[in-house]
Amino acid sequence: MNYKLLTAFVFLLVGCNPSESKKQIRVYFDLKGYFESEVNRLTKSAVMVDKTTAKDGVSETKKLNSIDWKNELSVFMASDINKPAWIKSYKTERKLEGSDSTEVYTALDSALHTRSLSITWNKNHEVRKVLIVNSTRNGLYDLDETLQYIPDEMYQINRIQKAKMLKENKFSVKGLFEKR
């Protein structure tokens, strides 16, 4: 009898299709998917970027044509709000601004890292701008991030971290795409 149960259990496990169980319902804008496609596009185009990094007021600018875009845009992808547990955690608001439209997702729970996500599209429904506000508060530190991405124009990451008993830390990255 136990052999039959074990055999049935094994068939049940083998019969499960892992790709089906990993499908994710996208309630909000697919931020991760969007930036994955941007990583592929930017990697293929070998675009030239004037990149400025600044830490606590000291900055450095470099002209780069070889960038690991997956790493460079990872903070944007990490702000994806399409997690199954967060299906009803963001309020959605749509706005029309001339020929552009903007969709704003605002966190309903102050414990969520991504506080707001704003996507602006042009009349052809192409992404014109992504704006993300992240915030983390805990017993060790407070972290505020503002992320902005304008395709083929620029990306910017501003981060302020206030650790307990340490001085405030400011960090920013700004990349300007060279026009071709």
Task: Read off the pTM.
Answer: 0.82
Residue 151 lies in a domain: yes
Residue 20 lies in a domain: no
| 46-57 tens-digit pLDDT | 899 999 999 988
Q: Which residues pair with 149 in a beta bridge?
A: 130, 155
Residue 146 lies in a domain: yes
Residue 4 lies in a domain: no
Residue 7 lies in a domain: no
Residue 38 lies in a domain: yes
Residue 19 lies in a domain: no
Whether 67 and 48 have beta carbons less than 8 Å apart is answered as: no
| 134-167 tens-digit pLDDT | 999 988 889 999 999 999 999 999 999 998 888 8
Count of the separate structural domains present in the chain: 1
pLDDT at 34 over 60: yes
Structure-token pair, residue 64: 């780069």
SS3 at position 132: strand
Owning domain of residue 79:
26-83+90-177
